[in-house]
A and B are shown apart, each in its own frame.
Chain A
Amino acid sequence: MRKATAILLSTALFSTALCGAALPAFAEDGDITLDVIICQYGPNTNEWFLGSGMDGTNFVDKFEAENPGIKLNLDVVSWNDVYTEVDTRIANNNAPDILNIDVFANYANEGLLLPVSDYCPEELLGDFFPSFIDQSVIDDTVWAVPDLASARALFYNVDMFEEVGIEVPTTWAELEDACQAIIDFYDGEVYPWGIDMTTDEGQAAFAYYTWGNGGGFVDENGEWAVNSAENAEAINYALGLVEKGYTNPNPATQTRYDLQDMFAAGKLAMIIAPNQLPTYVADKGGDINMATANIPANEGKSSSSVGVMDRVMAFKDDSAPDQDARNEAIGKFLSFFYDPENYVGWVSMEGFLPAVNSAVEALVEADPSFEAWLEVLGGCQFYPTAKAEWDQVKQGVIAAEQNALTGADIQAELDALQEQLAG
């Protein structure tokens, strides 16, 4: 009987092993099938790529019709799941051919990615904003291209500011005065300022304050400098705002979306948010008279907007029979995606900012407010995502902020993180 059990178990295990192995894509002779993973930016993403959101058709059908011999096996994956999915696929030796995600350094450093020059047509490569492409370079090689961007700015509730009778703050001192005035006027019913130091986006808070104080994640040589005196001063300033009751009460668990909801409900006067905030507020049924301004900086320091960019990258596949044909197919995918005819629809659909010059004209024509944002985008700083330790730094500064919120000394926390990075 034991033997029978053993046989059954081993059969089961064996069949599992078979299921786990990558199933080759069944394609017609000579056809190339590209596995593509796209992140879900909003409810329209799926419709546009797979449904009927692209003027009655969709990206995959239109691409396959225009590019015979190339099939797309395209999945739209939510941001919550995409890291799990990609990691699992890499671990199972089944990485996608084309991946749309935010990070790239780990994949590049581990030799999993193809250099962009291997597959991207030169004309297209020259079309990307150069400052964007620079963010995806490691060892003088471009490993990914930006698919879209968004820029952050200070949004404020114009009606509240008029009611209270205050000007938009540009410096930290003015910000504190404005906060106090709002607290006094509304008797604490409205939070003047929103802070998100959550696991979701605490690194953004770090950027807003440290960049506004001449600090930041790295020094002028691009080396990690998370524990600079400017950084500690900046975070202490932010913590001071929390302590004085100028902000939402639980910055460690209230995400930017919670803050955006409060802003849409008229319970928050100021918020640093991406350019899609007006769309978000309108979708929530909010009717807020809002305007944008520069993120306040410390006296004598320059304000800097935060740019966030996502990327498209191609993984190596040594098992592909014809590497040149595969590279060419990936190039065709990119050319098709960035063709203004398709790309403009994609970018404007979710209210993002473009990554290529050729889309600017059509976008500004469709929505003149884009122009101001493109200017903001030009002066943006980006997270140092090309550095291998970025994951660790991102989690590290969030943990430091959260520990400081519960009473720890921020300088000591940042010193410890810097030491880990050096060690």
Chain B
Amino acid sequence: MIKNNGKKWWVPYLWLLPSIILISVFVVFPILIVFRLSFSEISKAGVVGGFAGFKNYIDAVHLPAFRTVMINTFWWVISVVGLSTLLGFIIAMVMNQKFRGRKIARSILIFPWATSLVIQASVWNYIIKYEYGSLNSVLLNLGIIKNAINWRSSYQIEFIWECAVGIFVTIPFVTFCVLSGLQSIDESLYESARVDGAGFWNRLFSITLPLVRPSLSVSTVLNIIYVFNSFPIIYTMTKGAPANKTDTMITYLYMLNFYDRKKGPANALSVIGFLILCLCSGIYMITVMRKEDEA
């Protein structure tokens, strides 16, 4: 054991203790409970019985909505993380330019992220409401449309709206991550590139992108986790209706547990979701970090 500067070896652990306790109580312990429950028989009222083996997992995979929900979850994560990263990156590039009112623009940008998701989703619900939604009344008053449009005419469109709201609230996070990366890039790099005759795209791909990659990686991994686990937007806007066609895994397992009272399969799905997340973020981290090491 190395003693640094005569300090006791346990001092760092003492400072870590509060975090360790918090994480154990609110993260590790519940995860262990869910793992245990997913292998137990659970009654409709929630009474935990004996060991059930993989029965809950088999039941979960055979649920009629399972396929739809997995496909929805895939598109939800891909579209929200992908598009918010792309748009967030572009906005960050703009925000990095010097212009009047830049500070105000930056503070406005953080609003969607600072507001609670339930409020966001409810507000969007009102915006796109057919009967007295503000989108319709604005368009009607401007004379752009003659009759109110039903913005939620099918479940596919409703799901697209949910993704759009997801993207809208995720953009600020990406923007600020990227912006912090952009600001750390030395301006002289661009200047010398310009002198060497590099155009906008050249500078983007040869200087900007490689140098903001660490920030982008962090924001992407965190976003995959946040978006996959995001509950409020879908629950507030459609509750998965009609018939789970707009559910993602998280809202579906909630409905399964507390509405359908299929508690065993719901716990099994939670574990499946956890493992998928571990896998996705694991693969992403490993590939990105390997590239960074190579770079």
- Interface residues in chain A, defined as those with a beta carbon under 8 Å from any beta carbon in chain B: 1, 4-5, 8-9, 12-13, 15-17, 19-20, 83-84, 86-88, 90-91, 106-107, 110, 112, 197-200, 248-250, 252-253, 262, 265, 267, 391-392, 395, 398-400, 402-403, 405-406
Contact = CB atoms under 8 A, between A and B. Distances in A.
Given A13-B24, A91-B46, A262-B131, A406 B259 contact: no
B258 A87 contact: yes
Contacts of B243: 252, 398-400, 402-403, 406
B190 to A, nearest CB: 45
A267 B131 CA distance: 8
Contact of B47 (A90, A249, A267, A402): A90
B50 to A, nearest CB: 14
B44 A12 contact: no
11 contacts: A13-B29, A83-B258, A90-B46, A110-B43, A110-B45, A110-B47, A197-B242, A198-B239, A199-B241, A250-B153, A252-B238
A200 B259 CA distance: 10
Interface stretch (B13-21, B69-77, B213-221, B281-289): B13-21
Nearest to B43: A110
Given A1-B9, A253-B239, A399-B243, A112 B259 contact: no
A403 B155 CA distance: 11
Contacts of B47: 90-91, 110, 112
Contacts of A19: 25
A391 B158 CA distance: 27
B43 A402 contact: no
Secondary structure class of chain B's binding surface, majority of residues:
loop
A199 B239 contact: yes
Contact of A406 (B29, B42, B238, B242): B242
B45 A405 contact: no
Contacts of A83: 258
B264 interface: no
> DSSP majority for the A interface?
helix
Interface of B: 1, 9-10, 13, 17, 20-21, 24-25, 28-29, 42-48, 130-132, 150, 152-155, 158, 237-245, 255, 258-261, 263
B260 A395 contact: yes
B43 A106 contact: yes
Given A90-B47, A198-B239, A267-B131, A399 B21 contact: no
B238 A12 contact: no
Given A265-B132, A399-B243, A406-B245, A253 B44 contact: no
Given A87-B46, A91-B46, A199-B259, 13 more contacts: A5-B13, A8-B13, A9-B28, A12-B21, A15-B21, A90-B47, A91-B48, A110-B47, A249-B130, A250-B150, A262-B131, A391-B261, A400-B243
A12 B9 contact: no
Contact of B242 (A5, A110, A112, A252): A252
Nearest to B46: A87
B152 A253 contact: yes
A252 B155 contact: yes
A80 to B, nearest CB: 10
Nearest to A396: B260
B45 A90 contact: yes
B107 to A, nearest CB: 34
Contact of B44 (A5, A110, A249, A405): A110
Given A8-B17, A107-B45, A110-B45, A13 B28 contact: yes
Contacts of A88: 46
B47 to A, nearest CB: 6
Contact of B24 (A12, A267, A406): A12
Nearest to B10: A4
Contacts of B43: 106, 110
B20 A12 contact: yes
B267 to A, nearest CB: 11
B200 to A, nearest CB: 45
A391 B239 CA distance: 17
Contact of B259 (A106, A197, A267, A395): A395
Contacts of A253: 152, 158, 237-239, 241-242
Contacts of A84: 258
B45 A112 contact: yes
A272 to B, nearest CB: 19
B52 to A, nearest CB: 15
A86 B17 CA distance: 33
A193 B24 CA distance: 53
A86 B9 CA distance: 46
Contacts of A199: 239-241, 255, 259
Contacts of A248: 131
